[in-house]
Amino acid sequence: MRYISTRGEAPALGFEDVLLTGLATDGGLYVPESLPHFSLEEIRSWRGLPYAELAYKVMYPFVEDAIPADDFRKMLDETYSVFSHRAVAPLVQLDTNEWVMELFRGPTLAFKDFALQLLGRLLDYVLEKRNQHVVIMGATSGDTGSAAIEGCRRCEHVDIFILHPHQRVSEVQRRQMTTVQGDNIHNIAVKGNFDDCQRMVKESFGNQSFLGGKTQLAAVNSINWARIMAQIVYYFQASLALGGPDRSMAFSVPTGNFGDIFAGYLAKKMGLPISQLVIATNRNDILHRFMSGNKYEQHQLEHTLSPSMDIMVSSNFERLLFDLHGRDGAAVKALLENAAKGPVSIEDYRWKHARKLFDSDAVDDKTTCDTIRDVYEQNEYLLDPHTAIGVRAARNCRRDSAVPMITLGTAHPAKFPDAIAESGLSVKPQLPAHMADLFEREERYTVLDNNVSEVQGFIAKHWKNA
């Protein structure tokens, strides 16, 4: 399988090179030249498979040119054996035909573990084969950083530099990153917001001269295709658990960078019956404003109780725009260049095509807290603020009550005690046993100005072979 850029000018690459490259040389994001498609009969035959085996069935077509089947199966077995629930992604019922899929049973209590535990193993495999070293540079709005560090910290061929917005992630999220010890692990707190961190990462991938030609950058953000690939699987898992593919499913997805919901879009294109995808956002509602009114316009980023979604520039949205524009890279490039200058819209027929599948909602902090409280009082089930936004958006946007609605539960509530307290509940979510001493562990991180040259200089100085 070959991978092409959403901006149409970079060379097509194989899986190994896409894994290590991250952002394409023309500034675009890599997507498969074509997608595998599974028949209903084939999907039906996967019922009852363990999660790792289902992951093999869904993902192997994307990597088969690069990784032998037995090696990939071993990676998947190792990846999902560290999750705390044997189902890996268990479903919890909230109401009639309403479910939450718990995607926070991995080591860092967030859905990012599904992809980043695998990404670390993929990197180790490919870099060992090539006898190559890379520098991982990533931006996080809260959960990607800890999942990336946990997934890659044992990799012998990488140095890890994770940028997070200073004082704009929860204390648990910060400590999950900054208390992991290792000479190859570096946390940078940038005096800015997530979009500033993400912009620095993209600029650095576009010009890596600050590394002096001695190594290259690798991506852990969802600009890396391997992240998206791994997230497709749990849509199949949820559907198969609730009667799919013989009945259609609807999903509500808390999203800021559009990666997790784009994976659902791909699952549908690969043959899984999905009738609705709900984009669930907070006050940073650029995706909602586009999907509800065909206007893509950046506003000032706001700090909310759901910090992992405090994002205004949604990188993966470019991958959807690429499809909506008939895979015309030049059109996507022109659109995004205009979007950097002011509001843009797409042709009405393209927008209406997207609306056949997608709905959206924006949920403010008060409504988020109300939803946390209401669901707990009704079910004694505690939602984190991101999942609460997903549940509220699902209820507001649901098209058909006969179709199962599944909200992706993206994080453990113990990561966001302030939001739980603000909801008025007296219950205090407890960290699981393997994190019980988190607040006693020593932290290590460096605070830097919102300046790309300063950040690049820090990386150039501190990677192991500098």
Enzyme catalytic residues: 112
Q: Is 23 helix (H, G, I), strand (E, B) or coil?
A: strand
How many Å apart are CA 407 and CA 393, to the nearest integer? 9
Q: Retrieve residue 271's tokens.
A: 């043959």
How many Å apart are CA 268 and CA 225, to the nearest integer? 17
Residue with tokens 């910090």: 307
Closest by Cα among 138, 141, 139, 149 to 176: 149
Q: Is 458 helix (H, G, I), strand (E, B) or coil?
A: helix
Residue with tokens 């909230």: 94
Cβ neighbours, 10 Å, residue 190: 24
How many Å apart are CA 463 and CA 447, to the nearest integer? 17
How many Å apart are CA 28 and CA 39, to the nearest integer? 31
Indicate the helix (H) or strand (E) that contains 94.
strand 91-95
Cβ atoms of 389 and 306 closer than 8 Å: yes
Q: For residue 222, which phi and psi values (nearest 5 degrees)?
A: -75, 5
